[in-house]
Amino acid sequence: MSKVKQLDKLKSEDKFPVSEWAERGLDPSSDQVRLKMNNEVNEFIDFVKTILNSTNNDLTESIQSWLNNWDDSDFEIEEAEYIADVMNKVITLSGVNPNDILI
The per-residue DSSP string of 39-94 comes to HHHHHHHHHHHHHHT-SSS-HHHHHHHHHHT---TTS-HHHHHHHHHHHHHHHHHH
Residues 39-74: tens digit of each pLDDT: 999 999 999 999 998 877 799 999 999 999 999 999
Q: Can you say how many angstroms the Cα of residue 40 is from the centroid of all Cα atoms in its chain?
A: 7
- Answer whether residue 18 shows pLDDT above 80: yes
Number of domains the chain contains: 1
pLDDT band at 94 (very low <50, low <70, confident <90, very high): very high
* Reported pTM: 0.93
pLDDT band at 103 (very low <50, low <70, confident <90, very high): confident
